[in-house]
Amino acid sequence: MKTSYRSYRLFATVLILLIASQLAAGQEKKKAAYAIMIDSTGSMRSQFDTVIRIGKEIAHQVHDRGPVSVFSFERAPARGDSHAYLTPRVEYTQDERLLNKAFDDIYVEAGQTTLLDAIELMAERLNKQASASAKFIVLITDGEERASKSRAPQLIEELKSQNIKVYSIGLVQDLEPKARQKATDLLKKISLETGGQAVIAEPGIVDVQSLVRELALP
């Protein structure tokens, strides 16, 4: 009987350890995934240092929660194409050193902003992170949309069906009044309808810490 009881206890202990190990592995796999968009188009030139500081602060806060990707715009390589297109700078990393290097390597580029197409591309990249339990797109931009093929209503439905939430920091203060309102409305619409949050910076000196804190990114 003693041998049988000891065998049972050993079996139970091993079983508990196996279950705990599997649960831990499952939790390890189920991390959040983040895609940060740096608006590096010409309209952001006067605020570009602020854009980079915001990007670094967000990456600092979330990199230990799951893999982070950083994107920015580049001018079109084809002659005669006036658009700026999104390109990845670094993808799927939790190494803050690599993330900061990616931010430091971004420069202002000429070209018309394809904001909605950029969001669609980031969503496609995030969906490759099949093990992510939550997926977030973070926009740091003035919100100007110039030349995308995508349309906001269809894009929002796609994001909702993919359970991707959009969080936006709108640096709209340099835009003309009509353009500022249009950009603000677009950022709020995409963010709120996907379950995210939009924070629009007030005119004047931008407090990076306050903006990121108000964004309340999970």
pLDDT in tens, 159-201: 999 999 999 999 999 999 999 999 999 999 999 999 999 999 9
Residue 137 is inside which H or E element, if any? strand 134-141
- β-strand 164-170 against 83-93: which pairing, if any? unpaired
pLDDT of residue 27: 47
Question: Please, which pLDDT band fits residue 132 given cuts at 50, 70 and 90?
Answer: confident
Distance CA 91, CA 131 (A): 15
Distance CA 108, CA 19 (A): 51
pLDDT of residue 26: 45
What are residue 93's DSSP bridge partners?
Answer: 68
Does pLDDT of 108 surpass 80? yes
pLDDT tens profile 10-51: 555 545 555 555 554 444 456 899 999 999 999 999 999 999
pLDDT of residue 9: 60
Question: Which DSSP letter does residue 123 get?
Answer: H
The token pair at 12 is 């139970």
User: Which 3 state secondary structure label does DSSP give 112?
Assistant: strand
- The angle that helices 152-161 and 177-193 make with each other, rounded to 10 degrees, is 30
